[in-house]
Amino acid sequence: MKISSREFNNIKEGKQVYIVSDDNSYDNKDIVLLESNDDTLEVEITIKYKYNSLEDCFNLLPFDLFGFETQEEALDYYKDINDIIVYRIKVDNDRKLEDNLDDEILDLIDVSSIVKNNVGHSASEVYELKLKDGTEAILKVQYLSSRNDLKGEYERNKWLEDKLNVPKVFCFKEINKVQYYLREKSIGVSVHKVDNFAPLVGENLKEIHSVDISDCPFDNNDTLKLLDIALSKIDIILPNIIELYPDMNKESIIEFLKNKRPLDRVLVHGDYSLPNILVDVDRTVSLIDLGDVSISTKYFDLYYLRKSFNRNKKMDYFNEFLESYGLSSLDDDSMKWMDIIDKVLY
């Protein structure tokens, strides 16, 4: 894929994670060679979007993730592109992490133990390391903004420490607009890699949804807020929704969103996918990647969990999970409501 030298340098320096293109030939998980002048860079495509206009694109996605300081600058740069295809990319950067850390973090960690973890599609860079006392830890580094920043993950993880089995928090720092979040490393493997995993997931999700939310300060995924966001962006997401539900139009979509909003309120993980649920040798379950924890409907977690079962080819075990969770079936309207909301959030 040919890109400009500006984009190439931004991507190489970690300043850009999205590319706008009119080339529709690539898909998720494709390994692509970016070309600019005589330079090349291998990247993985992790997400692909299609938009009707640049305005729609930059109304949904932060312009700084494209390497720009203002939306106007981004619109002007890509003004000659007609078919708006957006790729999110993942690339391994060779920044020397320890050169950018402050004394508080350096005093805690064993610098010689730092190893970059290239698994996953997070907006953050993830490093495995040890503290000076030998404790295994994870350091997340975020150079660019995203839907959830590391400060939010730090705050949610800290709030949950006495409520659920989550990693211990060590510190959070922001230095020159770069965020650093240091936490304990959770021990275990992704839950779907062990035998008879579905009941473990059901019991764990039931525990999450039973947490007392009376003093929970996080409500970014409250269904009323999600509804407001969807209605404000209905014209942007309309083509994608109609592609999924061709029997609907703008008016029927709005009516459905208003009348079928799930009314239950529980604590949700917010990214409850199988790789974010770990199990150790004693079959004790723990949770990671807590940046989207919030009050919402239980169907927020159920929707993304079912997608994860499907993505990991585990749908044969989904009914077993439901039985353990305490449901005989999923409510079709609530799942459809979340399907529409998903087009706004991602």
For 178-198, the DSSP string reads EEEEEEEPPPSEEGGGSTT-H
- Band (pLDDT 50/70/90 cuts) for residue 218 is very high
The fold for domain 97-184 equals Phosphorylase Kinase; domain 1 (3.30.200)
CATH number of 189-345: 3.90.1200.10
Q: How far apart, in whole angstroms, are the C-alpha atoms of residue 257 and residue 284?
A: 38
Question: Which residues, including other chains, have CB under 8 Å from residue 270's CB and lie 6 or more apart?
Answer: 221, 290, 291, 292, 293, 294, 296, 300, 301
With bands split at pLDDT 50, 70 and 90, how would you rate the model's confidence at 275? very high
Average pLDDT over residues 96-113: 88
Write down the pLDDT at residue 102: 86
Alpha-carbon gap, residue 156 to 133, rounded angstroms: 25
* 41 compared with 119, residue with greater pLDDT: 41
Confidence of residue 116 (pLDDT cuts 50, 70, 90): confident
Residue with token string 């199988």: 274
- Indicate whether 213 pLDDT > 60: yes
H or E element that contains 340: helix 332-345
Cα–Cα distance list, 291 to 151, 172, 200 (Å): 8, 13, 22
Q: With 80 as the cut, is the pLDDT of residue 119 above it?
A: no
The secondary structure of residue 326, as a DSSP letter, is: T
Place of tokens 């989904």: 318
Residues 6+ apart with CB under 8 A from 294: 218, 219, 220, 221, 222, 267, 268, 270, 300
pLDDT higher than 80, residue 146: no
- pLDDT score recorded for residue 217: 97
- What is the C-alpha separation between 128 and 139, in angstroms, rounded? 6
Look-up: residue for tokens 């997608």? 307
Q: What percent of the chain has pLDDT over 90?
A: 72
For residue 297 the two structure tokens come to 């409907």
66-104 tens-digit pLDDT: 989 899 999 999 999 988 999 988 876 656 777 778 899
The band of 197, judged by pLDDT with boundaries at 50, 70 and 90, is: very high
Q: Are 49 and 85 in contact (CB under 8 A)?
A: yes
What angle in degrees, to the nearest 10, is found between the helix axes of 332-345 and 234-244? 130
Mean pLDDT of 138-155: 83
Tokens of 196: 């008879």
**Lowest mean pLDDT across 77-81, 116-120, 285-289:** 116-120
pLDDT at 182: 97
Q: Radius of gyration (Cα) for the chain, nearest Å?
A: 21
Distance CA 6, CA 232 (A): 33
Does 120 score more than 70 pLDDT? no
pTM (whole model) above 0.75 = yes
Domain boundaries, the chain: 5-90, 97-184, 189-345
Q: What is the pLDDT of residues 13-28, one digit of tens each?
A: 778 889 999 999 999 8
* Fold match flag (5-90 vs 97-184): no
Q: Which two tokens stand for residue 42?
A: 């291998």
What pLDDT is attached to residue 92?
A: 67
Pick the CATH number of 5-90 from 3.80.30.20, 2.30.130.30, 3.60.15.10, 3.90.180.10: 2.30.130.30
